[in-house]
Amino acid sequence: MKLKKFGERIPQSLFFLIALSALSALALITIFIFIEGVPLIAKVGFFNFIFGMKWAPSLGQYGIFPMIVGTVLVTVGAVIIGVPIALCCSIFLAEFAPRQLSMLVRPAIQLLAGIPSVVYGFWGLIFIVPAIRNYLGGPGLSILAGSIILAIMILPTVISISEVSILALPPLLKEGAFALGATHWQTIRSVLLPAAKSGILASIILGIGRAVGETMAVIMVLGNAVALPSSILDPARTLTTNIGIEMGYASGEHQQALFATGIVLLVIIMILNASAQYAIRRK
Amino acid sequence: MRTGFVLGDNIRTGLSNYKIKLQTENACLYYGKFQALRNITLRIPERSITAIIGPSGCGKSSFLRIFNRMNDLITGARVEGKVELDGQLIYEAHFDIVELRKKVGMVFQKPNPFPMSIYDNIAFGPKQHNRYTKSELDKIVESSLKQAALWDEVKDKLGQSALGLSGGQQQRLCIARVLAVEPEVILMDEPCSALDPAATLRIEDLMRTLAELYTIVIVTHNMQQAARVSDTAAFFMMASDRAGELVEYGSTSQIFTNPRDKRTEDYITGCFG
């Protein structure tokens, strides 16, 4: 009897330990980034680091404000382009598409999530960037190019989560609206979408998180200039690309500054994920 | 032997004084290849309560959903035969389904308020069909809630979520929501099955009041409820191929005290079902 109980406890402890190792990886990475980055922020000054306009590691100047602006602009652009497309797509899949069609489209959209980001970046560099340069002017490597690429990359996240949240609504809601003489579109607009709004909001927030965190594809199409952009046709640099570009040759204080950039990113992503969780739970 | 509707019934039970509101003639319902209802011929008198009774799976709810074309939502569902509202064939291609559902409202088995405020729940239907000013909507909301005997309980919290109401209140809210679009017929699909006895009695009282203005068709599992509230009753049963059939139709008192068909008698006296 006792032996049996002991036999039960071994796998239990084993699984606990393994689960703990995943958690401790998170803790270790976080701690490491903070240990590396915080001293630099302290030295430069929190305000100077966040709102400093000049990033010149060779001169010891570490201001990441242009990159924060770059991140925000590229992400907002991706949301403006991507979210309406994604919402239309999820509404179509959840409400209008015949079964056979949605069975075809759904895996295709999932496939979008499986394309490596370097392929997106390469495609953007070959097609999007020249197109912008030829038709809209500027260098082509630009915020607009980054936004277009990211808009495509966030589609699977936003589409699948918002579709699921529409499909998860009780069928009685839809029947109730139909029974009152509402048309299909009126039902979607006035009943289903408001009822699914917390899930839709969460999908958008998670999409934003994906856009903020994306590095490779953005490096390839954004131009990476460290300056405040004056239009969406200007190149820019995001927080992630800053780390991605300079990590190869950074050392000492410069390397610390990159970790400090990582802290800012981590905090942004944590805030986004927490608000997505909040949005999901609120319903 | 299958007994359909006999025209003579009406005369015998005094129903001939009523105008016929809804009527089916040899109505059949199919879900794909499966036949759910066979040759239902039934006339439902205006401003009265008609109860549809019968064992589970006999197609009572499916039959109810014929009248507001709710079966249209199910792919592969198909109705044959005649279904009429005020003598008009509602399955004709040119028949306006939105108009139909405005005239023929429906209350569901489980209360299904929309996740919005009490006020918005009631205003939802009218808003889809017409442009109203705020004060017109206020009036519609108030009168619908009064008619559904819910006004006194919610008048101070119209802005609160309808999901915070009790089950019985939610069901009366759903009735008020139907009343707000000024229907002529109210279909009720086991409206009390999710409610406690006190809430059930309130809904039944409400139904009696509403029957003075509206034609009510109710599907119910509860024999006492059918006997208490309805004027006429139709007994459905499943045939051997699982298609629902109408066994007997007549005034409620006749069905419950003097059923003509042995199967009706067996069911009502509780021998099966």
The arithmetic mean of pLDDT across residues A13-22, rounded, is: 90
Q: How far apart are CA A51 and CA A113, in angstroms?
A: 34
Q: A178–B101: do the CB atoms touch at under 8 Å?
A: yes
Determine what percent of chain A is predicted with pLDDT higher than 90: 86
So what's the pLDDT on residue A280?
80
Our measurement of the distance from residue A143's CA atom to the centroid of its chain's CA atoms, rounded to an integer in Å, reads 16
How does DSSP classify residue A250? -
Q: A175–B108: do the CB atoms touch at under 8 Å?
A: yes
So what's the pLDDT on residue A1?
56
How does DSSP classify residue A57? G
Residue A137 forms contact with B (CB below 8 Å):
no
Residue A177 forms contact with B (CB below 8 Å):
yes
So what's the pLDDT on residue A241?
95
CATH class of A65-282: mainly alpha
- Contacts for A238 with CB less than 8 Å, ≥ 6 apart: A67, A70, A71, A74, A146, A212, A218, A222
Residue A195 forms contact with B (CB below 8 Å):
yes
Residue A223 one-letter amino acid: G
Task: Write out chain B residues lying below 8 Å of A99, CB-based.
Answer: 75
Measured between CA atoms, the residue of chain A closest to residue B106 is A179
Note the pLDDT tens digit of each residue in B197-209: 999 999 999 999 9
Which sign, positive or negative, has the C-alpha torsion A105, A109, A115, A121? positive
So what's the pLDDT on residue A203?
95
Residues of A numbered 97-116 whose beta carbons fall under 8 angstroms of chain B's beta carbons: which are they?
99
To 5 degrees, how large is the angle CA B111–CA B74–CA B174?
A: 15
Residue A179 forms contact with B (CB below 8 Å):
yes
For chain B, list residues with pLDDT below 50: 1-13, 273
pTM of the model: 0.84
**What residues are paired with A193 via a beta bridge?**
none
So what's the pLDDT on residue A52?
92
- Nearest Cα of chain B lies from the Cα of A97 at a distance, in angstroms, of 13
Residue B44: φ, ψ to 5°: -110, 115
Give me the residue from B106, B113, B127 closest to A179, CB to CB: B106
Give me the residue from A99, A183, A194 closest to B98, CB to CB: A183
Q: B70–A179: do the CB atoms touch at under 8 Å?
A: yes
The arithmetic mean of pLDDT across residues A60-79, rounded, is: 95
So what's the pLDDT on residue B15?
53
Q: How far apart are CA B113 and CA B101, in angstroms?
A: 17
- Would you say B27 and B79 are in contact if contact means Cβ atoms under 8 Å apart? yes
To 5 degrees, how large is the angle CA A174–CA A176–CA A178?
A: 70
Task: Write out chain A residues lying below 8 Å of B100, CB-based.
Answer: 181
3-state secondary structure at position A53:
coil
Residue B206 one-letter amino acid: L
How does DSSP classify residue A14? H
Tally of CB atoms within 10 A around B72: 14
- Nearest Cα of chain A lies from the Cα of B251 at a distance, in angstroms, of 28
Q: How far apart are CA A145 and CA A129, in angstroms?
A: 6
- In order of A270, A271, A283, B38, the CA distances from A277 in angstroms are 10, 10, 11, 51
Task: Write out chain A residues lying below 8 Å of B178, CB-based.
Answer: 179-180
So what's the pLDDT on residue B8?
41
> How many Cβ pairs closer than 8 A exist between chain A and B?
66
Q: B101–A176: do the CB atoms touch at under 8 Å?
A: no
The gap between the terminal CA atoms of chain A, to the nearest Å, is: 46
- Rg of chain B over all Cα atoms, to the nearest angstrom: 19
To 5 degrees, how large is the angle CA B167–CA A201–CA A165?
A: 55
Structure tokens, B88: 């008009």
**Position A257 pLDDT exceeds 50:** yes
Measured between CA atoms, the residue of chain B closest to residue A182 is B128
So what's the pLDDT on residue A174?
95
Note the pLDDT tens digit of each residue in A186-230: 999 999 999 999 999 999 999 999 999 999 999 999 999 998 999
ipTM above 0.90, yes or no: no
In chain B, the domains with their CATH numbers are 20-268 (3.40.50.300)
**Position A90 pLDDT exceeds 90:** yes
Q: B112–A183: do the CB atoms touch at under 8 Å?
A: no
User: What DSSP string describes chain B?
Assistant: ------THHHHHHTGGGSPEEEEEEEEEEEETTEEEEEEEEEEEESSSEEEEE-STTSSHHHHHHHTTTGGGGSTTEEEEEEEEETTEETTSTTS-HHHHHHHEEEE-SS----SSBHHHHHHHHHHHH----HHHHHHHHHHHHHHTT-HHHHTT-TTSBGGGS-HHHHHHHHHHHHHTT--SEEEEESTTTTS-HHHHHHHHHHHHHHTTTSEEEEE-S-HHHHHHH-SEEEEEEE-TTS-EEEEEEEEHHHHHHS-SSHHHHHHHTTS--
To 5 degrees, how large is the angle CA B97–CA A178–CA B160?
A: 145
- Would you say B29 and B62 are in contact if contact means Cβ atoms under 8 Å apart? yes
